[in-house]
């Protein structure tokens, strides 16, 4: 580390906001004056790519590794856990002498050792799962006065969620400034992800577009106001000029208004076309001797951010670092043209995965699904497949992808296990989000008792038993804080800015727990809050699978919630 003043770092990562969802990118309706000002003051990576889904993008940002290598390749299905042996951005900045804090959405694991405060963030103010209405977050959570975790402890905030994340971040940054301590501050918001809950005052001007788009646009306007508050704070504390500010989003548009404006791109969230994964990325550092503000059009990706920040902040990379991204420090400083010849792959795990379910990026070329070729410079909307006219380009990109796939494919089914029985977490809650290869990650899935593909038993949990002993396993249809019987319906929930439908009742009369070929059953009463099993478990990796049946033995649904506690030697 040099003796020069080290810059602070702020990363703002918004959720489901596409490239076109900014006034400065030409949106005909959205008014985002503070994002527009940041755009004018920043270097803009105009061909910047993430994964078309949120958790994979977050894992790539935190690790510098492709999602199919770092473990966080999906949003649930037991595949959203960032491998615990990998150092994170927070780990590396902490080792480099920085204070580290996260304020918002983590989505890379909610139990030990995957929680943000297990992964290098000394200050962690966050919610569980994909959002405040995720299956694994606090039941009936709301955007107004939400429940959140502070280094693992459940608390309740006051005010709108976005305001709270920024308030908490600014309070923390102020304390670091008072101590003359450089900091890494990560503000990953849960907006403008659905549900489109925001005060009507932000929605009114967009009412003509419909309820969901007006809520989506309104959340961006409210977010824009928080960007203004952050700017006022940074100027007031004398932090602005010595702070690297990175703004980016986690995937393409998902606000139900692709027909309004999508910056001329094809597809939105989940798409392998550019509309799914090409997103804004602004970098501002007034005292950093960077290029003058402007556009930089070399293709870049989320995995570049970590090695870039390490170099800009003069933090040593681990000796065994093998980032899939490359440092863009020289590019930002005007010393080179960036990785102009590089190819890279955009691919993730949705409900399945297969070879060529991907986009390959190379200069102006996009190879989609291994067969469609587009020249983005001539055809930004990806309407004209030119694979027949460019066989050499197709062959080169296919060869690159085939070699890359051969490297990652053997590890695709290596699940990171969920630890139970650790002294760091006396009771571990696992949910349907961690079911192996079965998707049921929203509170709506719990209320409807539905999993993708109609799995009436849900799926198993991949578990690491930290200490051998006797364990209590409580299986629930509802989370414990819902205080509902196994066979009871959930009443509708009236949120501050929206309504959630009631949850269906099921005739649950029996619980089943399966472990290593042994099937245990317990009769249940309709008003029982959970089915309580006890069993001895040896230390090490295993699988546990819980589900519910009716009185005739018919399978009804998986155990959406499981609580695991070591109760004896």
Provide the pLDDT for residue 407.
Answer: 97
- Nearest-angstrom CA–CA distance, 320 and 156: 41
Provide the pLDDT for residue 4.
Answer: 67
Q: What is the DSSP string of 165-197?
A: HHHHHHHHHHHHHHTT--EEEEEE--TTSSS--
Spell out the alpha helix ranges (H) of 313-357.
Answer: 329-333
Contacts 24+ apart (CB under 8 A), 230-233: 230/10, 230/166, 230/169, 230/170, 231/34, 231/37, 231/38, 233/170, 233/173, 233/174
Q: Are 154 and 138 in contact (CB under 8 A)?
A: yes
Provide the pLDDT for residue 318.
Answer: 86
Provide the pLDDT for residue 2.
Answer: 40
Q: What is the mean pLDDT of residues 103-109?
A: 98
Q: What is the mean pLDDT of residues 289-295?
A: 98
Going by their DSSP bridges, the two strands 243-249 and 8-14 should be labelled as parallel
Q: What is the mean pLDDT of residues 64-84?
A: 98
> Is the four-CA dihedral 161, 163, 166, 169 of positive or negative sign?
negative
User: What 8-state DSSP symbol labels residue 216?
Assistant: H
Q: Please give the structure tokens belonging to residue 421.
A: 């029985």
Burial classification of residue 436, based on how many CB atoms lie within 10 Å of its CB (0-12 exposed, 13-18 middle, 19 or more buried): middle
Helices then strands, counting H and E runs in the chain, come out as 12, 29
Encode pLDDT of 511-530 as tens digits.
999 999 999 999 999 999 99
Residue 3: band (very low, low, confident or very high) from pLDDT cuts 50, 70, 90: very low
Spell out the alpha helix ranges (H) of 211-339.
Answer: 211-236, 274-277, 305-312, 329-333
Residue 25 has pLDDT above 60, yes or no: yes
Encode pLDDT of 196-212 as tens digits.
999 999 999 999 999 99
- CA separation (Å) from 97 to 4, 92, 190, 363? 14, 9, 29, 37
Q: What is the mean pLDDT of residues 486-496?
A: 98
CB atoms near residue 103 (< 10 Å) = 26
CA trace torsion 137, 141, 142, 147 (10° rounding)? -80
Please enumerate in sequence order all residues whose Cβ is within 8 A of that of 105, keeping only pairs 6 or more positions apart, or say none: 13, 15, 54, 58, 126, 127, 130, 131, 188, 189, 190
- Nearest-angstrom CA–CA distance, 413 and 411: 6
Percent pLDDT > 70 in the chain is 99
The packing angle between helices 211-236 and 161-178, to 10°, is 10
Provide the pLDDT for residue 1.
Answer: 37
Query: Would you call 461 helix, strand, or coil by DSSP?
Result: strand
Question: Nearest-CA neighbor of 81 among 430, 475, 512?
Answer: 430
- Nearest-angstrom CA–CA distance, 517 and 514: 7
Q: Please give the structure tokens belonging to residue 355.
A: 């070879």
Q: Are 513 and 472 in contact (CB under 8 A)?
A: no
Average pLDDT of the chain is: 97
Beta bridge partners of 362: 343, 365
Q: Strand (E) positions, 413-517?
A: 418-420, 427-431, 461-465, 469-476, 493-495, 498-500, 510-515
Provide the pLDDT for residue 5.
Answer: 83
């Amino acid at each position: 580390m040099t003796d020069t003043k080290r810059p602070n770092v702020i990363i703002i990562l918004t959720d489901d906001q596409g490239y076109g969802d900014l006034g400065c990118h030409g949106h005909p309706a959205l008014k985002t004056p503070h994002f527009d000002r940041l755009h004018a003051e920043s270097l803009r990576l105009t061909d910047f790519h993430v994964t078309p889904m949120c958790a994979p993008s977050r894992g790539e940002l935190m690790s510098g590794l492709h999602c199919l290598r770092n473990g966080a390749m999906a949003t649930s299905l037991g595949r959203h856990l960032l491998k615990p042996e990998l150092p994170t951005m927070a780990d590396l900045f902490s080792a480099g002498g920085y204070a580290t804090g996260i304020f918002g959405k983590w989505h890379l694991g909610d139990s030990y050792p995957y929680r943000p405060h297990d992964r290098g963030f000394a200050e962690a103010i966050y919610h569980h799962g994909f959002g405040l209405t995720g299956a694994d977050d606090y039941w009936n959570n709301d955007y107004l006065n939400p429940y959140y975790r502070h280094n693992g402890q459940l608390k309740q905030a006051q005010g709108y969620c976005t305001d709270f994340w920024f308030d908490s971040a600014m309070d923390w940054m102020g304390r670091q400034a008072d101590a003359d301590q450089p900091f890494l501050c990560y503000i990953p918001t849960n907006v403008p992800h659905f549900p489109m809950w925001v005060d009507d005052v932000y929605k009114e001007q967009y009412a003509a577009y419909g309820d969901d788009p007006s809520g989506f646009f309104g959340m961006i306007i409210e977010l824009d106001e928080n960007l203004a508050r952050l700017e006022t704070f940074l100027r007031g504390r004398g932090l602005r000029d010595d702070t690297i500010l990175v703004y980016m989003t986690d995937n393409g548009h998902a606000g139900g208004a692709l027909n309004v404006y999508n910056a001329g791109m094809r597809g939105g969230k989940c798409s392998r076309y550019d509309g799914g994964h090409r997103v804004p990325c602004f970098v501002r550092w007034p005292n950093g001797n960077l290029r003058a503000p402007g556009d930089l059009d070399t293709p870049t990706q989320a995995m570049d951010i970590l090695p870039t920040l390490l170099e800009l902040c003069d933090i040593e990379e681990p000796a065994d670092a093998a980032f899939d991204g490359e440092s863009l420090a020289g590019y930002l400083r005007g010393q080179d043209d960036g990785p102009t010849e590089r190819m890279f792959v955009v691919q993730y795990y949705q409900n399945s995965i297969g070879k060529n379910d991907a986009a390959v990026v190379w200069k102006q070329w996009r190879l989609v699904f291994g067969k469609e070729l587009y020249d983005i410079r001539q055809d930004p909307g990806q309407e004209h497949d030119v694979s027949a006219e460019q066989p050499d380009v197709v062959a080169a990109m296919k060869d690159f992808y085939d070699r890359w796939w051969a490297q990652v494919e053997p590890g695709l089914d290596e699940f990171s296990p969920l630890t139970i029985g650790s002294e760091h977490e006396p009771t571990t809650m696992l949910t349907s989000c961690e079911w192996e290869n079965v998707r049921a990650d929203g509170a709506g899935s719990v209320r409807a008792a539905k999993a993708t593909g109609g799995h009436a038993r849900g799926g198993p949990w991949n578990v690491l038993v930290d200490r051998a002993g006797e364990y209590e396993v409580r299986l629930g249809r509802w989370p414990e804080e819902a205080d509902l019987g196994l066979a009871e319906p959930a009443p509708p929930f009236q949120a501050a800015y929206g309504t959630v439908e009631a949850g269906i009742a099921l005739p649950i009369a029996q619980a089943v727990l399966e472990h290593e070929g042994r099937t245990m059953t317990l009769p249940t009463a309709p008003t029982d809050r959970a089915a309580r099993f006890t069993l001895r478990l040896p230390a090490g990796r295993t699988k546990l699978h819980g589900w519910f049946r009716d009185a005739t033995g018919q399978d009804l649904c998986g155990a959406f919630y499981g609580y695991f506690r070591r109760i004896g030697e």
